[in-house]
Chains A and B, each alone.
Chain A
């Protein structure tokens, strides 16, 4: 089975996020980039499928800060090919990124059976990668997947999706299909830094130059801003002891302890 995984870097939302002076984009110079968490799950699901059924895993990304690390880490986990699309663009909308990936995949001349990607990202302002790509390739798309169960003949697959509240829905799709992963069947594995370093020596990141810049987004960002806090929490300050005393009083006043 030939599996393609699409990954992207996102801003680490644990850090403070600054807005560019233009007011229309984030300031990436001041930001820390991490691999989109659900994309990490998509890599894991691909490696699990390869381990179970055999096959070949390619991981593809559009160039971004720290992307080389993410690609080498995927290789250390078992990805066979790692590729990035070089663009010279600093920021782009999800729709634009999906268009770049579409032309890159066309240039690869490989027939993939399964294309996996994270179901969403925190900056998906005009769409998600998976369905946007599915529309361009005229392929079926299933999102919120927690299980991918291909049949032994490799002609179709069952996909289990999570609806919330303990309810799941399962679907059957012919292959190829694009699947938006919400969680891999097992937690993403940890790879020791030594293995990543070995991958850096033994694997090469292939590069595909992006074609002419694709058309921009169909929505205009008027402005970005920090959320306006109305109300918000009454903050309790002091020493840990004072804080604990205050909290206990709040709980007891409400008959909670």
Chain B
């Protein structure tokens, strides 16, 4: 009773990085509230993954063919059953692509509070307060749940995952799958790995990244000019650029694209939506040029230039060529 649960996410038989991040957060909350921390593991033949969740005090596991691969519908049914049986204090999950919608679905079905888009959680007087990032990172909110159990989704990249990578034997409680699982209308079909017909941007030393501020497709040539001056460099883009097909999908940096850690990430006209920053905050050097001096990208950049990029780029290219 009153345990802190985290939902383990696994893709192609591997526990995801975000799972370790929320384990770290879960441990922090469980220590402050003096409650046990349990990892919920859904799947089929995933017993071997329980050891990877050794940072938790125990694992609550449900196995069924229909749970084998991440599936919002079957996983919701399974998790709702576990919530009813175990009555946890809260369930923390990653705000990731594969789990997107799960918290919202369960919240509505069970009438529970759901704190979405959080970057963190804190405990005040034994009460949990969520810190949500809204409006593309321009506003934050402190929110409090009105009931229990609490559902929380936490954005990737806000807690270190490494401390939680503890392999050890942990007590595993198995929960029998409910009959309602058979009512699911969605079947997982397959994973599809996109063919790489382009360079691998994760292997580049320098990435010149363009965002909405580049204004039109023709202007991308300015970024290409800069990229050509550096060794092992490429032009990449944020979501709106790829959606407009100004650059191919292989050049997308962010949650739905690639996570990159180049020596230099030169961000041109990128405001810094949280989903984009998840994919590039690990770069060794981030330099951002954006005329909006309040653009969120400046919060994680090492150097910033709040100027019209079309005035700065030609001068920069000219001097770099010297």
Contact = CB atoms under 8 A, between A and B. Distances in A.
Contact of A26 (B117, B135, B294): B135
A161 B186 CA distance: 13
Contact of B97 (A19, A136, A163): A163
A171 B285 CA distance: 39
A167 to B, nearest CB: 6
29 contacts: A13-B135, A13-B138, A16-B138, A122-B134, A125-B116, A135-B107, A160-B192, A165-B258, A168-B191, A174-B185, A180-B100, A188-B243, A217-B113, A220-B145, A225-B142, A227-B138, A227-B296, A232-B299, A233-B286, A234-B304, A240-B307, A240-B311, A240-B315, A243-B316, A244-B312, A244-B315, A247-B287, A251-B320, A257-B229
B180 to A, nearest CB: 11
Interface in B82-141: 97-98, 100-109, 111-117, 129-130, 132-141
A171 to B, nearest CB: 5
A224 B264 CA distance: 34
A92 interface: no
A191 to B, nearest CB: 15
Interface of B: 11-12, 69-73, 97-98, 100-109, 111-117, 129-130, 132-147, 184-194, 196, 205-206, 212, 229-230, 240, 243-245, 250, 255-259, 263-264, 271, 273, 285-288, 292-294, 296, 298-307, 311-312, 314-316, 318-320
Closest 6 CB pairs of A and B: A233-B304, A127-B104, A13-B136, A135-B108, A131-B101, A244-B315
B105 A244 contact: no
A220 B240 CA distance: 32
A84 interface: no
A69 interface: no
Contacts of A233: 286, 288, 298-304
B257 A165 contact: yes
Contact of B108 (A131, A158, A241): A131
Contacts of A218: 107, 111-114, 145-147
Contacts of A94: 104, 116
Interface stretch (A45-53, A104-112, A138-146, A204-212): A138-146
A141 B72 contact: yes
Contacts of A244: 312, 315-316, 318-319
Chain B interface main SS type:
mixed
A166 B194 contact: yes
Nearest to B311: A240
Contacts of A251: 264, 320
A226 to B, nearest CB: 7
Given A122-B135, A232-B298, A219 B140 contact: no
Contact of A183 (B112, B243, B292): B243
B27 to A, nearest CB: 23
A221 interface: yes
A177 interface: yes
Given A128-B100, A221-B143, A248-B319, A134 B105 contact: yes
Contact of A248 (B114, B311, B316): B316
Chain A interface main SS type:
mixed
B303 A247 contact: yes
What interface size band does chain A fall in?
35 or more
A256 B135 contact: no
A125 B143 contact: yes
B185 A257 contact: no
Contacts of A13: 135-138, 271, 273
A140 to B, nearest CB: 4
A66 interface: no
Contacts of B307: 240, 243
A95 interface: yes
Contact of A170 (B192, B299, B303): B192
Contact of B113 (A139, A158, A219): A219
A37 B192 contact: no
Contacts of B193: 166-168
A236 interface: yes
Contacts of A140: 73, 184-186
Nearest to A222: B142
A217 to B, nearest CB: 8
Interface string A168-204: 1111111001001011001110000000000000000
A174 B258 CA distance: 32
Nearest to A188: B243
Contact of A127 (B108, B288, B315): B108
